[in-house]
Structure 1
Amino acid sequence: MAALSENMLTVNMLLSLFFLPGTLADDCGNIIPTLKIITPNNMEALSGSCLQIPCTYNTDNPTYDSSKTIYGIWMKGGVNYGTDRDKVIFDSSGSINTFSLNITGNLKEKNCTTLFPNLTTSHTDKYFFRVENGDYKASACADPLQITVKESPWRPRINISDGDLKENQSVTVTCSAFTPCPQSPPELTWNLQQDSLRQTEKNTDGTFTTKIQETITLSDTHDGYNISCSARYPVIGGIKTEMTKVTLSVSYSPRNTSASISPSALVSAGTWVELSCSSRAKPPPSFTWFRINKHGATNVSVGPVYKFNSNEEEKFYCVATNDLGQQKSSVILVDIRDDQSSVFQILNILKIMGIVLLCTSIIIFECWFRFSKKPKKEPEEPTYVNNVMVTKAS
């Protein structure tokens, strides 16, 4: 007996060394747990909806016998070791079911997956699982499950298959929403194709995600385009909605490349001329200027603006270039005005106007002169017959 007591004391001392305070969860106290469960450890739920808890358990205790009846028990707020039942909220034997829980997994296959319906924020707490199987009774005190119940839903996530977006590239856009209750998944809608197929998928940790997908071919018009997606969660008494939005940033080759000239009218020889090139592109393009001559096109300048002293008629165009391509502007003409010819033209016009004015004056004078020289007729004396005046018929 003395030897046995000494051995037990040694074992206790070793246990106290191996399991120092804080080594195991505080809920285990001085007990070494023989039951382990695998859950996500921390789970969130939406008030008014349900929560499916993925759960498996394991034990190597020889007293566990899967051929016997197995009962699963859930406790809220702390561990119950069978001495009292105040923390038990569910017992698969049917004796207790405070929150209408349902173990949907097969306990004989060590599957303790549980459906927790109609949650409210008051259900936020720490939960523990316990197995009772004949003489085997153990709680997973080292594996608590923290459940947090929220009033507001989660924002959906928008993911694009390739983060480096370029024109003519096909990408898959996915909108996904956390789904704590796969029996009542959220409805997803977005401003892409409305008949996108909705599917609910199981994650590696046993939780679920609902998603919709669409494949699009990018163009320059998608740059700056906003993709919005909303998730509508059905809850008791209505719907709770949350939305998210992303803005696409798409690279594309130069578009609408054009060249302009200042001054835009005919210019005199020796005048300074400014040519400007513009283009729409992402990333912003570089610009190169070319002069067209009888030998072809010659590179004359780099940059959006080219200034030069013009002495003859010339043709130019610019090219906008970035990593994705290039685009050429239309040809622009620098037209030189012949100032000497213009003077001669003005003099000729003045000469013609002078001749016309002179001829007109001569004609007017001639008409006036002839009219002024025409002899005037003498008035005829009246003829009287028998004292009556007789007028000659004209």
Structure 2
Amino acid sequence: MSVFPFMVCLFFLYQLLLASSNGAYYAQLPERIMALSGSCVQIPCTFDAPEDKLKNPESTFGFWIKTGYNFNNPTNLVVFNGSANIIKGFSLIEILGNLSQRECTTVFYDVMKNHSDNYYFRMEIYPVFWIYTYKDNPVNISVSDSPQPLILKPNDLKEVMEKTTVNLNCSAEAPCPKHPPTISWSNIPESANITTQLQEKPDKTHLMFSHVTFEASYMDHKKNISCTATYPRKTSEDSTVETTVMLRVLFPPKETHIIDPSASVSVGTNVTLTCKSKASPSNNMTFSWHKRGEDSQLDLGEQLTFPVNKRSGGWYFCIAKNKHGFQKSNEIQLIVGGEFISIYRY
């Protein structure tokens, strides 16, 4: 046997060992990805490699190793072997990135809870025989049966004045961009404007982002506005997650009106009129009572009570007021005739 081929083999073996032990190269991977069982998970991935090794490679292969980085250790599982096109433990694993361009983004399909573990990326380039396992920075995949909580901003929505613009943002993690969650809103006005899009985060993972804007109305006061994300899964049903915020609208009195007695009132007895109104805030709202043609107010308070006599006939109204404004009610007419009075609304 010639000495030269033997020396060449030793040289290549040395290069392989050096590449496997050298920590000079780095794979850009998120430290941790939260995945949803029954769905897929996309791992954003780029890597460093010697420039000369990637110039004219005939073949580049990617590998993913579960649990540990040692390719030959039987306690670790090579879940994806790009050179032999072997997949273990998953229904499908697909490298989306162009390895010759240092792109190794990969999708693991149909992940289950037992797939939770550390995963290491490995590269093999031929015929230059460059092999390297990126052992210093694995990605940890944590699989759950439930989606992650939504983020709704602002989550402590302050009081807003009516007719001002309300802006709400809702974001849902999208570990599987190929099958992202859908976002829906409830208890928002029909005129609300909604924009939803898939966004990339700084670590290259994704989220579904939804923005809703509308004009605040007093009819929306104390409404619970909900954002719901629905995740498609290969299970019996999809998974949903929801978050809610209460909208508090400040507004002057609205729908101010008088409630009159339902029973007939006879002359000589007392009649009670009640003023009702919606307002926010309502704890400092005041009511005043008035009669058409009289300059001074009749009384203060939510109710007006007085004895009925011949001079009681006329047009009555109330005014509700808070710090944001006031509103006058419609007038009612009291007609005194015979032994009873009649009340009419206008």
TM-score, structure 2 as length reference: 0.66
3-state SS of paired residue (1:93): coil
- The residue type paired with residue 321 of structure 2 is T
2:104 pairs with 1:112: yes
Structure 1 CA distance for aligned equivalents of residues 328 and 145 of structure 2: 58
Describe the shift of the 1:153–1:319 C-alpha distance in structure 2 as closer, same or farther (beyond 3 A): same
Hey, what's the Cα distance between the residues in 2 that align with 1:46 and 1:293? Answer: 69
Shift in alpha-carbon separation, 1:231–1:276, aligned structure 2, 3 A: closer
CA distance in 2, matches of 1:172, 1:132: 50
Equivalents in 2 of 1:267, 1:205: separation in Å?
81
Structure-1 residue corresponding to 2:55: 67
Cα distance between partner residues in 1 of 2:51 and 2:202: 31
Q: 2 CA distance for matches of 1:280 and 1:265? A: 31
* Structure 1 residue 166, shift from structure 2 partner: 3.8
Describe the SS at the equivalent of 2:199: strand
* Counterpart among 211, 216, 219 of residue 218 in structure 1: 216
Larger Rg: 1
State the one-letter code of the partner of 1:34.
A
1:38 aligns with 2:28: yes
Spell out the pairing of 1:47-58 with structure 2 (5 A cutoff).
47-58=37-48
Query: What does residue 147 of structure 1 align with?
Result: 141
Alignment of 1:3-14 (within 5 A): none
Q: CA deviation at 1:218?
A: 3.2
Where do residues 1-394 of structure 1 align in structure 2 (5 Å cutoff)? 33-58=23-48, 65-67=53-55, 69=57, 70-80=60-70, 84=73, 86-94=76-84, 96-98=86-88, 99=90, 100-133=92-125, 134=128, 137-154=131-148, 163-172=158-167, 176-189=171-184, 191=186, 199-211=197-209, 214-228=212-226, 230-236=228-234, 238-244=236-242, 246=244, 248-251=246-249, 252-258=251-257, 277-284=275-282, 285-289=284-288, 297-298=295-296, 304=302, 318-330=318-330
Task: Pick the structure with more strand per residue.
Answer: 2
Letter of the 1:168 partner, please give it.
K
- In the alignment, the residues of structure 1 paired with residue 62 and residue 164 of structure 2 have an alpha-carbon distance, to the nearest angstrom, of 53
Distance, in Å, in 2 between the alignment partners of 1:177 and 1:196 is: 15
| Alignment CA distance shift 1:123-1:237 (3 Å) | same
Structure showing greater relative contact order (alpha-carbon pairs closer than 8 Å, 6 or more residues apart) = 2
Query: Structure 1 residues 34, 183: closer, same or farther in 2, change over 3 A?
Result: same
- Residue 49 to residue 288, structure 1, CA distance change in 2 (3 Å): closer
Q: Any conservation in 2 of the 1:33–1:139 contact (CA below 8 Å)?
A: no
Gaps of 5+ in 1: 1-30, 343-394
Structure 2: stretches of 5+ with no match in the other structure: 1-20, 340-346
- Supply the AA of the counterpart residue of 1:108: S
Q: 1:108 aligns to what SS in structure 2?
A: helix
Q: Distance in 2 between matches of 1:326 and 1:195?
A: 31
How big is the shift at 1:184? 1.9
Q: Find the residue that maps to 1:280 and give its secondary structure.
A: strand
1:291 Cα offset (Å):
5.5
Q: Kindly indicate whether the alpha-carbon contact (under 8 Å) linking 1:51 and 1:117 is maintained by their aligned counterparts in 2.
A: yes
Amino acid at match of 1:256: E
**TM-aligned CA distance change 1:195 to 1:250, over 3 Å:** closer
Is the contact made by 1:224 and 1:249 (CA closer than 8 Å) also made in structure 2? Answer: yes
Q: Count matched residues.
A: 301
Amino acid at match of 2:256: T
What TM-score, normalized to structure 1?
0.59
Call closer, same or farther: CA 1:195–1:217 in 2, change over 3 Å. closer
Q: What is aligned with 2:9? A: none
Alpha-carbon deviation of 1:52?
0.8
1:72, distance to aligned residue in structure 2 (A): 3.0
- For residues 100 and 64 of structure 2, the distance between their equivalents in structure 1, rounded to whole angstroms, comes to 17
Query: Deviation at 1:260?
Result: 6.5
- C-alpha distance in 2 between matches for 1:184 and 1:111: 21
**Post-superposition shift, 1:78?**
1.3
Equivalent residue, structure 2, for 1:374: none
Q: 1:107 to 1:329 in 2, by over 3 A?
A: same
SS at match of 2:54: coil
Does the aligned pair in 2 maintain the 1:290–1:298 contact within 8 Å?
no
